[in-house]
Amino acid sequence: MRPTSKHRAFTTVFLVELWERFGFYGMAALLVLFMIDKLGFDDSRANLTWGAFSALAFSAPAIGGWIGDRVLGARRTMVAGAVVLCCGYLMLALARQELPYLFAALSVIVVGNGLFKANAASLIRRIYAGDEARIDSAFTTYYLAINLGAAASMLVTPWIKDQWGWNAAFAVCCAGMAMGILNFLLMHRTLAHIGTPADQEPVHWRRVAGIAAGAVVLSLFTALVLEHTLLATFTIWAAGASILSIFVYMTLTAAPAERAGLLAALLLTVQVFLFFIFYQQQYTSITLFALRNVDPRFSVFGYTLFTWSAAQFQALSGIWIIVLGPFLVLFYNGLAGRGHDAPVAVKFTLGFAAVAASFFLLAVSGQFAVDGRVSSWFVVWSYALYALGDLLISGLGLAMISRYVPVRMSGFMMGAYFVAAGVAQYLGSAVANLAQMPPAGMQAPLSLPLYMRLFSGLGWAVVGAMALAVLLLPLLKRLSLAHEHGVASGEAATAAGQST
């Protein structure tokens, strides 16, 4: 595939993903606050409901990846997911502020995300198949699309909510996803030769009907799970255990040359799992901290430049990723051009160091609080450190799967990666409840010590994750070398077979 064709195909997926994330993260910025403000949830229920939803939304791509690999094709499944997501956001925009309507809309979004997420990433993997040196750069750029859409929507939707209400804000999320679908329709020819083998087959309508029926069942089950915390906990852990069992089975039954790469992917996925526990704090504890203990004014020398709502602070993650991401892309491309590259495991370790510093900065901010509120600039710089860690870990997580997992397994393994992230995010919501506020204790001076203890503890927990990453470096280096040797041997055997 020529470089220009790769660029056009990548641009198509990049833009679709940008608009899809615009819709998802616009909704994500509002949901916890919506449940507390409009539905009367306490911190604990809001955090755990969000955690269950995000866990299910991240777990569903394991099924969607399999459908893209084996049944409908990655291209078709991605588009189907985009349409279902659009319907889910529309339901949120039209819904009354009652629990059954909320859970119904969220269950449709879970199904849509399951169909979309793994297959969009799988298409990126296939665009750059055989160009291993460019994978880190491609997925970092792809991650910029996610955060460009996220940052824009997290700034816009809270402002729209303040001006015209919750329903109007959710309607903007629907409009964003509709733009992504339109984008694909206009540029679909660039992906004509990119996809799984199933994309090249005629549409089997019986399979489509079966998938539609399964989607309805999954949607109903998801709504039930979201309503019952105990069932949610069981379902999420069961999904994680099932995916881990399948992963172990695939590793044991894989060709010997593939096992080192699969084992390396498993160990790195464990590290990503730990990262997503900390990642979840931006939607739960950090957002509630911004609501109760952060001065919303951005001031310089006593002059207020502008003011943000609590939900808008979440946009800082995406903004910093957009600022820092291009420098990492240039750095990765420079290394690739010189035939060098830092191992993914080393990048993960540096990422944990940045995330630890981010939480420690938040913990220190309490010492400079005035009437229980800290300067917004502490949150700005904390998110800068967090974003660097995010780029080095989550931004390269999909690249890691692409690097170590055979292409024929990529759709499912992308999905398995998201399951791990989903289970971790549910745990992250439980961790956020360590700073749960009592109903009568909403005053800023009372809540500040709770958050300071939480952020300090999280900082030390990240240090522990970094220590684990350091200890695993020698093993991952050996596995990576064994994987490269296996790939080289396989390519040599293929070339020899073709020559004969």
Cα–Cα distance list, 53 to 130, 141, 283 (Å)? 36, 27, 12
469: in domain: yes
Q: The CATH number of the domain where 12 resides is what?
A: 1.20.1250.20
- One digit per residue, pLDDT tens: the chain, 500 residues? 555 677 788 888 888 888 998 999 899 888 888 888 888 888 888 888 888 898 888 888 878 888 888 888 888 899 999 999 999 999 988 866 678 888 999 999 999 998 998 788 778 777 876 666 566 667 777 777 777 888 899 999 999 998 999 999 999 999 999 999 999 999 888 888 887 788 888 888 888 898 899 889 989 988 888 888 788 888 888 877 887 787 787 777 777 778 888 888 888 888 888 888 898 888 888 988 998 899 999 988 888 888 998 889 989 988 998 888 888 878 877 776 776 667 777 888 899 999 999 999 999 999 998 888 999 999 999 999 999 998 888 767 766 777 777 766 766 676 677 778 888 888 888 888 776 665 544 565 678 888 999 999 999 999 999 999 889 888 888 887 887 776 666 555 555 555 55
CA distance 307 to 352: 31
pLDDT value for 440: 47
500: in domain: no
How many domains, the chain?
A: 1
> Which amino acid makes up residue 186?
L
Instruction: Residue 393: give the domain boundaries.
Output: 3-494
Task: Judge whether 65 and 414 are in contact, CB under 8 Å.
Answer: yes
Based on the number of CB atoms within 10 Å of its own CB, is 346 exposed (0-12), middle (13-18) or buried (19 or more)?
middle
Return the number of other C-beta atoms located less than 10 Å from residue 44's C-beta: 15
- 299 Rama class: left (phi>0) / alpha (psi -120 to 50) / beta: beta
Coil, strand or helix at 299: strand
Give the pair of three-digit tokens for residue 421: 């992230």
pLDDT value for 497: 55
pTM beyond 0.85, yes or no: no
148: in domain: yes
Residue 426 exposure: Cα atoms within 13 Å on the Cβ side: 26
499: in domain: no
